[in-house]
Amino acid sequence: MSILLPTISTSFIVISGILVACGWYAVAKKQIDKHMKIMKWAAICATIFFITYVSRTAFVGNTHFGGPDSLKPIYQTFLVFHIVLATVGGVMGLVTLRHAYKNNIAAHRKIGPWTSIVWFVTAITGVTVYTLLYIIYPGGETAGVLDVIFGK
């Protein structure tokens, strides 16, 4: 089984998370133009992640957990948490970007820090899922996303 696409998609979410941290630092230093450029690149990297992930899911499928059966329920619970968090983070990211592009700075300042925190946790849990699926344990068979999540 090739881990090329999962490695590419995970790399982009990590880069996106790092860029969000850099953008947060820039805005704290009142470097607004720099913040805007960094956050645009963070959004681009998150979009590349999403396209890569959805393409892999559609054309190849998702990977079953290849670790011990005793850890499978814990892994699946963690996976569901990650997926929900990623979905919430993605929606929050779109809302945050919309506020920025509409120059609604007050709303952007309110949601932006929360969006960043959710995105950091999403990136960390995403790397954890990747590590469990492809580094620590051998990946299992590929199947549809619902079969992977619910263990069918």
CB neighbour burial string for 32-64, b if at least 16 within 10 angstroms, e if fewer = eeebeebbeebbebbebbbebbeebbeeeebbb
Average pLDDT estimate for 22-32 = 97
Mean pLDDT over all residues of the chain? 91
d(CA 78, CA 69): 15
Please state the pTM of the whole predicted model. 0.84
Q: pLDDT class for 44, splitting at 50, 70, 90?
A: very high
Q: Give pLDDT, residue 55.
A: 87
Least confident of 17-21, 46-50, 72-76, 147-151: 147-151
The total of structural domains in the chain comes to: 1
Residue 42 is part of which domain span? 3-150
Evaluate whether 76 touches 149 at the Cβ level (below 8 Å). Answer: yes
pLDDT score of 27 more than 70: yes
Q: Give pLDDT, residue 148.
A: 63
Which pair of tokens denotes residue 44? Answer: 């681009």
Q: Give pLDDT, residue 142.
A: 78
pLDDT digits (tens, 9 = 90+) for 80-123: 999 999 999 999 999 999 999 999 999 999 999 999 999 999 99
Instruction: Tell me which range, 1-15, 77-91, 132-146, is most confidently predicted by mean pLDDT.
Output: 77-91
Q: 143 in helix, strand or coil? A: strand
User: The domain that contains 62 carries what CATH number?
Assistant: 1.20.120
Q: Provide the Cα torsion 69, 89, 51, 24; round to 10°.
A: -120
pLDDT score of 1 more than 70: no
Evaluate whether 25 touches 108 at the Cβ level (below 8 Å). Answer: no
Q: What is the 3-state secondary structure (H, E, C) of 11-75?
A: HHHHHHHHHHHHHHHHHHCCCHHHHHHHHHHHHHHHHHHHHHHHHHHHHCCEECCCCCHHHHHHH
Q: Give pLDDT, residue 133.
A: 92
